[in-house]
Amino acid sequence: MKPLRDMLGDGGVHVLDGAMGTMLYSRGVFVNVCYDELTLKQPALVQEVHELYVRAGAEILETNTFGANPVKLSAFGLEERTEEINRAAGDLAHRAARGRAAVVGAIGPLGIRIEPWGPTARTEAVAFFARQATGLAQGGVHGFILETFSDLEEIHAALEAARSVAPDLPVVAQMTVGEDGATSYGTPVETIAARLIEWGADVVGLNCSVGPGPMLEAIERMAELSTRPLSAQPNAGLPRSVGDRLARQAILSGLEFEAGTPNGDLLCDEIVDSSDEMDAAIARRVEALTSSGLVNAAGNRRALRVGAEPLDLFREYMATFCREQVHCHLSPALVQNLEQHWSAHERRL
């Protein structure tokens, strides 16, 4: 495995895993439990999900710690176990990776508003995040990933905490935006990129949001002024009704929906039960592109290599779109959505 910092500096496209919560829920874990505590209570289940992503080709694993800060853990009476839970999550991800993937400590928002939007002082927020980062560092993570933040000041506090705990570890800083390319607080992606770079994030980007198409447009705006590697981790888009089921744009919301449709090759964004399934799905999405090539944003033709491995084709596809180093979810649904987005984009050229 290439060291994480080397990955971030090699100019290539690297693949992260998909969501943990989606996979745990699909395995029977209901939403009224603490998913972060499952690292301690059901470690074999969490490890299984990590291993599925590694076998599917993920180069970077996120720990099962999105909500493992003392504020969110307090809802389950677990705030005193913050460091323990995060430390165990790092250890577990390493056991699953077995040297085949880098491990980054996932840190999400506190779930409360900090000043000037709420009563929590910024110094308190930094202290909360520092407890989580301390546990992750003790668990041996190779870096941190701050994700799904809407408040620029809150992610600043998280970044400061991570730096104070482990100044030598790289930090990926990601926020979430709407279709207009702005956060719920009205902050545009250009400001996000500028501030995160100013504050020293090693990688800047977006995650979650409203799907691959709108995120690609936002990432392209960030690329205009970013001197750092970019990260893009979209979900499958906002749900909409399709008959008596829910779908996310043109992408199915899960295997249950897939099983009820005549078209069995549609996959959910984060469902990766085997590397064969993933390879086959990616191969289907890029098959039509191998003979005609692609047009990148600069208008240059770029042919995909016939006979290449599906995952390599996927990386080339993403590199052609984004023109910069981009870290993306491993997802056949992402490829499908991007194909649709590209068709519309190519017509505008």
Q: Do residues 263 and 165 both lie within one domain? A: no
pLDDT at 321: 40
Domain co-membership, 220 together with 173: yes
Same domain, 275 and 191: no
Cβ atoms within 10 Å, residue 137: 20
pLDDT digits (tens, 9 = 90+) for 38-80: 999 999 999 999 999 898 888 999 999 999 999 999 999 999 9
Same domain, 89 and 109: yes
- For the chain, the domain total comes to 2
User: Residue 149's closest CA among 110, 118, 113, 176?
Assistant: 176
Same domain, 218 and 309: no
Domain limit, last residue, from 242, 272, 300: 242
pLDDT for position 10: 85
What whole-number percentage of the chain has pLDDT above 90?
53
Alpha carbon 297 to chain centroid, angstroms: 23
Inform me whether the pLDDT recorded for 265 exceeds 90: no
Residues 6+ apart with CB under 8 A from 190: 221, 222, 224, 225
User: Can you give the pTM of this predicted structure?
Assistant: 0.75
Domain boundary pick from 242, 272, 305: 242
Q: Domain containing 15 — which CATH number?
A: 3.20.20.330
- Alpha helix (H) residue ranges in the chain: 4-9, 20-26, 38-41, 43-56, 70-73, 82-97, 122-138, 152-165, 189-198, 212-223, 255-259, 275-287, 310-322, 332-348
Integer Cα distance of 290 and 298 in angstroms = 20
Please answer whether residues 22 and 239 qualify as being in contact, where contact means their C-beta atoms are separated by less than 8 angstroms: no
Are 49 and 147 contained in the same domain? yes
Query: 22 is in which domain, residue-wise?
Result: 4-242
Q: What is the pLDDT of residues 112-138, one digit of tens each?
A: 999 988 999 999 999 999 999 999 999
Residue finishing a domain among 175, 207, 242: 242
Q: Which helix (H) or strand (E) holds 268?
A: none
CA–CA gap between residue 230 and residue 218 (Å, rounded): 11
Q: How far is CA 38 from CA 11, 45, 46, 88, 320, in A?
A: 36, 8, 7, 10, 39
Is residue 162 domain-shared with residue 302, that is, in the same domain?
A: no
Based on the fold, state whether residues 167 and 105 are members of the same structural domain.
yes
The 3-state DSSP class for residue 12 equals: coil
Contact in structure between 223 and 324 (CB atoms under 8 Å)? yes
CA–CA distance, 97 with 61 (Å, rounded to integer)? 8
Q: Do 154 and 110 contact (CB within 8 A), yes or no?
A: yes
